[in-house]
Amino acid sequence: MPSSSPRTHHQVLVIGGGTAGINVAANLRRKRPGLSVAIVEPSQTHYYQPAWTLVGGGAFDLDATARPMAGQIPKGVTWIQDAVTEFQPDDNRVVLKSGQQVDYEQMVVCPGLQLDWHKVQGLQETLGRNGVCSNYSFETTRYTWECIQGFHEGPALFTQPAMPIKCAGAPQKIMYMACDQFRRAGVLDRADVQFFLPGEAMFGVKEFVPPLERVVARYGITVNYKTNLVAVDGEKKIATFQRVGGEGEVETFTRAFGMIHVTPPQSAPDVVKQSPLAAASGWLDLDKFSLQHLRYPNVFGLGDVGSMPNAKTAAAVRMQTPVVVDNLLALRDSRALAGAYDGYGSCPLITERGKVILAEFLYDGKLAPTFPLDPTRERWLGWFLKADFLPWMYWRWPKSWPDFVVVGRNLLARKKGETPMSTRAA
């Protein structure tokens, strides 16, 4: 990069202005008002993505999931409206698309993940028409509801790619909402609903598999395991799949569809994959407890970009935020890093409008219910949290909601005689 390129410096540089970046920056400034913090984020719009499944299911207003980014940047934080094109962690520097170079003392990397639409042949050309829909894009989510409302009979296909993906339950949540609508419209008995997933179970935490299998049976859904979507022909309404057999042989087959909801393959952003910060998997190479980079101690990360084996959900970000903030400030103060993330994630598994199985778990699939109720049962409470309370709280406390939730969980931990979350040892 030419030496004439403009260069700036910030004590803490945050990469990404999503839920993770906004909340980390806000909490850093709240705890250290004099700290120079900047967010690198090219988008002009901030999205509340957890509600997109509800939009696709006809239960939420799409416009309520988006607000101007300028209104979400915390007070006192510099917004660099640009994109990173190169990480240079050996020099404590990033290079931006504009050519600007930004130096830092500590960096927090949380740009989310990327949706690899191109990995399914023909998908990009037909997405948003011909009955091909997806809740994974702001531009196409509303079309999902159009497809569900307009469905009368025939094959309705729903797909899930290989893990990890953001919100592992989302591909089946929209399927259940569609089936619920088909039932209400009196067309469920004329529908051939099929679910295609590469795994061998409906969910990665075993306690939730039996109740989900009961939901599948209730709607008459056919589940196709060890199967991946590889191509979509929207004009002919044909989807092509590959199934891996017991001996490793691969079978290619096709299915006709009236509608198909596609969850795209997902991976770390290319700029992370191609950087020294990446693990062999391509994800940001982090210690799963401290969320500190394994090779660059002044780099931390959280959210969907991380290599940690947790569910990639907004609920995980809520619990990761105080760990990153506490540990980054400890590093600045030359103190030991005490914050430890225990893998908490939450997936409100919508089974019909008004009912949710609230799955909460830690690393290794250990159940971690917030409420003293059987977490495997469908309840109205989970729907209230998913559809009403959490969206309301997000926009009203966008800069402090992680601490709000951590306080609540810590009160429960103390009541049970456990160590509070923000200081839990690994």
Q: What pLDDT sits at residue 417?
A: 53
Q: What pLDDT sits at residue 416?
A: 54
Q: What pLDDT sits at residue 413?
A: 52
| Phi, psi values for residue 421, rounded to 5° | -60, -45
Amino acid at 159: T
Strands (E), 129-282: 132-133, 154-159, 191-196, 222-224, 227-233, 238-244, 250-256, 259-261, 266-267
Three-class SS state of 407: helix
Q: What pLDDT sits at residue 410?
A: 52
**pLDDT < 50 positions in the chain:** 1-3, 401-404, 406-408, 411-412, 414-415, 420-426
Q: How buried is 32 (Cβ within 10 angstroms: 0-12 exposed, 13-18 middle, 19+ buried)?
A: middle
CATH homologous superfamily of 7-113+268-336: FAD/NAD(P)-binding domain (3.50.50.60)
Q: What pLDDT sits at residue 383?
A: 95
167 noted as active-site residue? yes
Which pair of structure tokens corresponds to residue 95? 């290079």
The CATH number, out of the four listed (3.40.50.720, 3.60.70.12, 3.50.50.60, 3.30.870.10), of the domain defined by the range 115-266: 3.50.50.60
- Quote the CA–CA distance of 125 and 233 in Å, as a whole number: 9
CA atoms within 13 A on the CB side of 209: 11
Output the pTM of the full model: 0.91
Q: Name the residue among 144, 58, 135, 54 with its Cα closest to residue 382.
A: 54
Three-class SS state of 349: strand
Q: Which of 133, 147, 179, 347 is catalytic?
A: 347
Q: Name the residue among 318, 337, 316, 289 with its Cα closest to residue 403.
A: 318
- Quote the CA–CA distance of 378 and 376 in Å, as a whole number: 7
Q: Which of 110, 133, 147, 167 is catalytic?
A: 167
Q: How buried is 2 (Cβ within 10 angstroms: 0-12 exposed, 13-18 middle, 19+ buried)?
A: exposed
- Quote the CA–CA distance of 206 and 375 in Å, as a whole number: 12
CA distance between the termini of the chain: 41
Which ranges constitute the DSSP H helices of 114-208? 123-126, 138-150, 170-185
236-287 pLDDT, tens per residue?
999 999 998 877 789 999 999 999 999 999 999 999 999 999 999 999 999 9
CA atoms within 13 A on the CB side of 386: 32
347 noted as active-site residue? yes
Buried b (16+ CB within 10 A) or exposed e, 357-394: bbbbbbbeeeebebeeeebbebbeebbebbbeebbeeb
Q: What pLDDT sits at residue 399?
A: 54
- What are the distances in angstroms from CA 112 to CA 8, 157, 225, 391? 24, 27, 28, 19
180-201 pLDDT, tens per residue?
999 999 999 999 999 999 999 9
| Contact indicator for 240, 228 with CB cutoff of 8 Å | no
Question: For the chain, how big is the Rg over CA atoms in Å?
Answer: 22
- Quote the CA–CA distance of 245 and 194 in Å, as a whole number: 19
Q: What pLDDT sits at residue 402?
A: 44
- Quote the CA–CA distance of 18 and 39 in Å, as a whole number: 10
Query: Domain coordinates of the chain in residue numbers?
Result: 7-113+268-336, 115-266
| Contact indicator for 234, 262 with CB cutoff of 8 Å | no
Beta strand pairing call for 227-233 and 238-244: antiparallel
Domain 7-113+268-336 shares a fold with domain 115-266: yes
Q: What pLDDT sits at residue 225?
A: 96
Amino acid at 400: S
